[in-house]
Every structure is written in structure tokens, then in C-alpha cells.
Amino acid sequence: MTDIGVFKVIPPRIRLAWTRFAGSIQSSWKTLVIWTPFFWLLIFFLAPFFIVAKISLAELVIASPPFSNMVQWVDGSVVTIRLVFDNFIYIFEDPLYARTYVNSLKIASISTVFCLLVGYPVAYGIIRSGPVAKPLLLFAIILPFWTSFLLRVYAWMGLLADQGTINSLLISLGLIETPIQMLYTEFAVYVGIVYTYLPFMILPLYANMEKLDSTLNEAAADLGSGPINTFFKITLPLTAPGIIAGSLLVFIPATGEYVIPDLLGGGNVQMIGRLLYNEFARNVDWPVASAVAIVLLLLLVLPMAVYQHYQAKSSEDT
């Protein structure tokens, strides 16, 4: 209302010009806001992806960088584009790769399930805790990030080794006589992944549960539903977005995990991260390494795209 008083003393032409100017600033600001994330994604995600994709379609050569050019000028006038699919064919023909992919997906899935089984009650407990305990508990979840990830994995090596803390303790208690091998087994890899990625499960779950209206539980109880039924019919469906977000945040990086299987699994656990490292650093075969990465990406992205598609469809239906 106060604007009216101001506009009265300004001639209409100037007022119009001002409105247009303000409007254009506003709309260009809007454009900027919308396009900033696109530029970011373009430069830091999409461009590297295309570079890797390009390398995966090249041929190994002894050169620097060690792959052939995709685009070549022949006779100074004709452009040829060479796409080499050999790397992909090689990956599909050698059973080592298929086995490693399957193993990676298996380890990542099982770890995700364990993270969920541990993380869900923890997140729920934090939500239910008092006003003093809540920030402390949340702080404790984030606390491990203050120490180096590598250091924490080495600490687990110390705990799980044959002469490590756990085995020494069990032996001194007389529970076992010879050490149980834990380090350099799949078990150690599970422990490492679940331990490392647990906060990525808990935090989205917490954020999701925070929004949950506790009177809904009371309403369910009021309508005759016991605690277990209420959990499955009300709480679980309403926390599904948190479960999905947390699971993706654990599953995706766990699939490509390199450090944990390398340090805790030793040579006994093959995961795609290690294979990729070997191709890239030891064999210096960039094209195959790139192909391995692209296949991994497709394996992870395709199911998500399908899920998104059906999700969008089902929300249209209701």
C-alpha cells in the first residue's frame, strides 16, 4: 500500500521504465539461479563423464596419454571418427569382470541392508531422545568425520588382525585358543563398509523422521492399531523417502569402494574399485579402465532411472 504514495509523484513513463528494469533484473536473476546448478553439473560432472566415455571407446597405444585419438584428420581434409568397442567386448568376455561386478553389487547391497538395520533404530532413537541428548547424539554421529577416513580403516586393521585387539582379548579370556581370521576376509570388508557409511544412512533418515508428525502414531493407536502394526502401516511408509535416500547414499559409493576392500579384504575380496585401480595404475590401460567405469555407472544409473520413471508414474496416478 505504501508504494502507491511513492508512485504518485513519479511520472508514469519513468514508473513504467523502472518497472521494466526491475522486472528484467528479477527475471535475469531467476535465470541465473536456475542455470547455476546446470553449469556446475556440466563442468564437474557431465564433462568428465564424456571424457571418460571417450577414452573407453579408444585404443591402447604407447603414448602420453596412453590412448588413441577419436577424431583424426586424414589427408588434411577428411575427418574420421574411430569408435573402438574392443574394451567393452573384452570386459564382457572375461568372466573375471562379471564376477567382480556381481561381487561388488552383492557386498554393497548386503552392507546397505545392514546399515539400514542398524541406522533405522538409531535414527528413531535420536528422534525420540530428549532435548539435551539429541544434539549430543547427532554430534556423535558426525564425530568420526573429524578423523581421517584412512586412519579409521587402519584402526580397524588393528582391531581385526590375527594378533589384533579382538583376538588377543578373546584368547586372554580363554574363549578361543588360536586366533580367528577376520582381517582379509569378506567379513572385514562388511564391517568396514557398514562402519564407514552408517552416518550416510542415519542422517537422511533422521532428517526424514524429524518431519514426521507424532500425532499420526497417536491417531493410529486411537483407531485400534497396536505399536507393531502402526510401525508397518504408518511410520515405515512415511519414512520411505529417507530409507531410499540413505540407501542410495550408502549403496552407490560402497559399490565402487576401493580403500576398504583393498586394506581390509586384501587380495581375497575382489571389488570393482580394485580392478579399476589395477587396470589404470598397474596395467596403464586407460581405455579398459574407462570402460570398467562406464559399465559400473550404467549398472548404477539404469535401475535408478527405471525407479524414477515408475515413481513419477505412480504419483501421477493418485
Partner 1 sequence: MVNKPPAPEQSKEQGPSQDADQEPLLQIRAVIKKFGDFTAVNDVNLDIHKGELFCLLGGSGCGKTTLLRMLAGFEAPSSGKIIIDGKDMSDVPPYERPTNMMFQNYALFPHMSVEKNISFGLQQDGFSKSEISDRIDDILRLVELRDYKKRRPQQLSGGQRQRVALARALVKEPKLLLLDEPLGALDKKLREQTQFELMNIQDKVGVTFVVVTHDQEEAMTLSTRIAVMDKGKFVQIGTPTEIYEFPENRFIADFIGSANIFEGKVIETSVNHLRIKTEIGDFDVEHNIEVSKGSHVYIGLRPEKIHLSKQAPEKKTENQTLGVIDDIGYLGNTSRYKVRLESGRIIDVTAPNQVRPKNRTHHITWEDNVYIHWDASSSMLLNK
Which residues contact partner 1 (rule: CB under 8 A)?
213, 215-216, 218-226, 229, 233-234, 237-238, 318
* Closer by beta carbon to partner 1, 64 or else 315: 315
* Closer by beta carbon to partner 1, 127 or else 170: 127
Tell the smallest beta-carbon distance from residue 236 to partner 1 (Å): 10
**DSSP H or E stretch at residue 194:** helix 186-210
- Which three-class secondary structure state does DSSP give residue 72? strand
Tell the smallest beta-carbon distance from residue 257 to partner 1 (Å): 34
* Closer by beta carbon to partner 1, 205 or else 276: 205
Per DSSP, 283 falls in state S
* Closer by beta carbon to partner 1, 159 or else 221: 221
* Closer by beta carbon to partner 1, 100 or else 235: 235
Tell the smallest beta-carbon distance from residue 6 to partner 1 (Å): 34
Cell 579370556 found at: 173
* Closer by beta carbon to partner 1, 18 or else 232: 232
Tell the smallest beta-carbon distance from residue 121 to partner 1 (Å): 22
Peptide bond into 65 cis (omega under 30): yes
Per DSSP, 243 falls in state H
Per DSSP, 60 falls in state B
Tell the smallest beta-carbon distance from residue 5 to partner 1 (Å): 32
CA 62 distance to own-chain centroid: 35
Tell the smallest beta-carbon distance from residue 208 to partner 1 (Å): 13
Sorted by sequence, the CB contacts under 8 Å of residue 64 that are 6+ apart come out as none
Count of all residues that appear for the chain in the document: 318
Sorted by sequence, the CB contacts under 8 Å of residue 241 that are 6+ apart come out as 208
**CA torsion sign, 246 to 249 to 252 to 254?**
negative
